[in-house]
Amino acid sequence: MKVSVDRSLCYGSAECAYRAPDVFAFEDGYGTVRLGRAEAGDAPEVREAAERCPSQAITLQEGA
pTM above threshold 0.85: yes
Convert the pLDDT of each residue in 6-20 to its tens digit.
999 999 999 999 999
**23 pLDDT above the threshold of 70:** yes
**C-alpha–C-alpha distance, residues 36 and 56, integer Å:** 22
| C-alpha to C-alpha distances, 59 to 16, 18, 19, nearest whole angstrom | 12, 17, 15
| C-alpha to C-alpha distances, 62 to 3, 4, 18, 24, 27, nearest whole angstrom | 9, 12, 24, 19, 26
Mean pLDDT of the chain: 95
